[in-house]
Amino acid sequence: MICFLVMAFRVQEVLLQILKMIVTIIRRPPWSSASKKVSGMVESKSVGTLIQLQKKDRPQGLYVDRGVVSPKLGKSFSACSLASGLNFGSTKAMPEAAGAVAAAAVADRLHGSKEDRKLAIVLVGLPARGKTFTAVKLTRYLRWLGHETKHFNVGKYRRLKHGANQSADFFRPDNQEGIEARNEVAALAMEDMIDWMHGGGQVGIFDATNSTRKRRYMLMKMAEGNCKIIFLETICNDRNIIERNVRLKIQQSPDYADQPDYEAGLQDFLERLTNYEKVYEPVQEGSYIKMIDMVKGEGGQLQVNNISGYLPGRIVFFLVNSHLAPRPILLTRHGESLHNVRGRVGGDTVLSEDGELYSKKLANFIEKRLKNEKTATIWTSTLQRTILTATPIVGFPKIQWRALDEINSGVCDGMTYEEIKKIMPEEYESRKKDKLRYRYPRGESYLDVIQRLEPVIIELERQRAPVVVISHQAVLRALYSYFADRPLREVPDMEMPLHTIIEIQMGVTGVEEKRYKLMD
């Protein structure tokens, strides 16, 4: 019996070693071991610093064939600095990347400690530096990818326990009573986050100034054995941006909702800010990410230290491509196609008469709405009904994305739902029970669509000019759910009508939406 157990243990050990080797091979990039070249970046083995390569002009053309690709940090980066605005994507199809992503996630889950499976992103920074906006944005992104994520705002805990009318004196560094009160609510928020993680939560976003080492060490002590902490520090040196954020704070913060005098509120907040500046200590401990002057989306830096793993790598990749510059994103389905008229799934048919009329109305709308936006672009799928819809639009470059193609309906392509119900009743019922996870035979599910749309989301976040996305119902449901921060379970049933434009305005105040119905 003992011999049998020993043999079983050795077999399990060998299997784990084989899995490690497979993951290593999948992760290993096809370049020399002397230096790693990563789409515009080189990692110097001697200093561990990522340096931006000289950018090459992108090839001129309409077709961008981008496969499913997800960024990873294959090793722990120490004191690593990344220039913002870098494009980590690939311009060629990488179908094997989906397997690499899955293998990396499995490896992290198998070999990582229990503590590493739960992640706390702890914000650090002075007031009016964009911490809460960054926290909300990151929460939305991780939820959309399917990670159980929750935003814990310590300011809400403070207002519930001590009221919203605390003056700047409450935040004085020599006010011991105020310090203890603020540490108490921070500990309460941390305890709630840890309890939530024990109940199934995966990523907690802990939103507070956390501006002293003492506070951060308190949080690290509480996290021991429960979750891994990554500090996310937001630093801004642009006085104009800080002044703008201060004005927004006075106008929107619950702390000043009952203050009718704007100037009095402004003076109080500036005193509070001065109190924080007196004791502020930049992060130098533990694992951290520093966002330095990245608000504009250009000229900033992202510094990372001791960051490793699949999910932290995705977070770094998202942050390096994010900025707060306001710009609109317009989403619309293609004009009505012949398959829409016939009630058939998928296909690659041309437009109906109504669809052709919509393409002309859409061109007129775009011409008026974006007449002053010379750098705007039009994105379509590779299917002809979206390309034909975009044809009348002139004056803007057009890019075809394979990732924007409609959900692959596999063997059901070209059938009506009545035909599917009659010929494949079990498939029909399975789809009816769970449209989010249901995968068409030899096709895709909504979750598959979301996975392949991640590069599109990253590119939309990176853009500083307006983008018009002409795509398909399932794809636009998935994209819209990201911007609207809707639960994944709602994605398959979202209303996405034909001949309607959804304008998403992205900016410092959040995401706003407008709808324009061009045809009845």
Sign of CA dihedral 132, 136, 139, 145: negative
Domain boundary among 260, 289, 321: 321
Q: Does one domain contain both 174 and 277?
A: yes
Domain region containing 135: 113-321
In angstroms, the CA 336 to CA 353 distance is 8
Instruction: Give the pLDDT confidence score for residue 260 in this predicted structure.
Output: 87
Q: Is residue 48 assigned to a domain?
A: no
Q: Is residue 491 assigned to a domain?
A: yes
Q: Does one domain contain both 341 and 204?
A: no
- For 118-149, what is each residue's pLDDT tens digit? 999 999 999 999 899 899 999 999 999 999 99
Q: Does one domain contain both 401 and 508?
A: yes
pTM of the predicted model over 0.75: yes
Hey, which residues are catalytic here? 207, 236, 334, 406
Q: Does one domain contain both 229 and 124?
A: yes
Q: DSSP string covering 187-219, please?
A: HHHHHHHHHHHHTT--EEEEES---SHHHHHHH
Q: Does one domain contain both 380 and 512?
A: yes
Q: How many CB atoms sit inside 10 A of residue 38's CB?
A: 14
Q: Does one domain contain both 186 and 316?
A: yes
Q: Is residue 102 assigned to a domain?
A: no
Q: Could you tell me the CATH number of the domain that includes residue 137?
A: 3.40.50.300
Q: Is residue 90 assigned to a domain?
A: no
Instruction: Give the pLDDT confidence score for residue 252 in this predicted structure.
Output: 87
Instruction: Give the pLDDT confidence score for residue 323 in this predicted structure.
Output: 81
Domain boundary among 306, 321, 336: 321
Looking at the structure of the chain, the number of domains it has is: 2
Q: Does one domain contain both 402 and 462?
A: yes
- For 231-289, what is each residue's pLDDT tens digit? 999 999 888 889 988 998 898 889 998 888 999 999 999 999 999 999 999 999 999 99
Domain boundary among 289, 321, 353: 321
Q: Does one domain contain both 489 and 420?
A: yes
Q: Does one domain contain both 286 and 244?
A: yes
Q: Does one domain contain both 289 and 341?
A: no
Q: Does one domain contain both 227 and 310?
A: yes
Q: Does one domain contain both 305 and 283?
A: yes
Q: Could you tell me the CATH number of the domain that includes residue 383?
A: 3.40.50.1240
Q: Which residues of the chain have pLDDT under 50?
A: 1-12, 14-16, 18-61, 66-76, 84-115
The vertex-481 CA angle with 354 and 456, nearest 5°, equals 80
